[in-house]
Amino acid sequence: MQVSFARNARDAVPLHAVTAAALARWLATRPKREARFLKGAGFTAKEGEVQLIAGADGSLSVAVLGLGKGDDKLALAAFPASLPAGTYRLGDVPEMQAGSAAALAWALGSYEFARYRKPKAKAMRLVLPDGADGAEISRVAQGLFLARDLINTPPNDMGPQELADAAIALAKSHGAKVSVIVGEALLKSNYPLIHAVGRGSARAPRLIDFTWGNESAPKVTLVGKGVCFDTGGYDLKPSSGMLSMKKDMGGAATVLGVASMAMSAKLNLRLRVLIPAVENSVSGTAYRPSDVFKSRKGLTVEIGNTDAEGRLVLADALAEADSEA
């Protein structure tokens, strides 16, 4: 999804934000009608509390957000879900939540994962706050949205192959060099732990590897765990423990989001991304407790619990990352 900011503040509805501690003093500075309405509505400025105030013609004239203690820099992310379609601008907002923080919070609060349902038809824009760089905010937001989309995608549509496809698409869009080692080729390339964890699934394990940037620039390598679904293996998780396991590839998603931000900003670095992508399943070919494998580094590893697969796949990927250190 795209982040959209307005440039013209004309007819934009003001957004105010206030902490619980400052509420009484702040109300004393507001128009009497507005202050009476907020008091009558029982507004206490608790964190995330939003109060909409209509004008004389019945249309929205002001929106107020409670900040609670006021220690959340991105608290204004609570606004978009509570507002109708329209154009908004910052009103009276504490310095901590203003400027670039407000713009990023607005973008994050506007995020919607609508791949499997009809998106909400709400056209909302925020007038870009003073001091905020719209292009930078968009770059950061797009990276975060990419990570969120990958994590939110259900495991039937986000296996090792689909995660690799997402990484390849990102890499190619920025001219990065990408390679993917799949299945038995992992053994030939000496990634035995990645192969061991993923071999029990019909969805072949793989190592995703891409590089971007000038070879002479400072090197940065990002390694992200890409366990696309984790049953626990033979040390099977209870059903309640599997409900959130589509998120076990969150490390990989985060790495791709950060890579997106870095490449979009054209940072002066030589970036490398390594993602071991596997599914930890139960089958006749799955690895077992008490199995012993030799890692890429050359150390032998005895399996005590097949639900500790993350450290195994990361060990091989980190050993490769360390080879360039």
Q: Which of the residues are catalytic?
A: 237, 311
The identity of residue 36, as a single letter, is R
β-strands 86-90, 13-18: how paired?
parallel
Cβ count near 240 (within 10 Å): 7
Phi, psi dihedral angles at 8 (to 5 degrees): -100, 120
- CA 202, distance to chain mean position in Å, is 28
d(CA 206, CA 121): 39
205 Cβ neighbours under 8 A, 6+ residues apart: 160, 182, 183, 186, 194, 195, 197, 198, 199, 276, 277, 278, 279
Structure tokens at 136: 């930078």
- Cβ distance 200 to 312 under 8 Å? no
- Measuring CA to CA, which residue among 268, 150, 289 is closest to residue 208? 150
Can you tell me which residue has the tokens 């209870």?
238
- Cβ distance 224 to 314 under 8 Å? no
d(CA 19, CA 184): 58
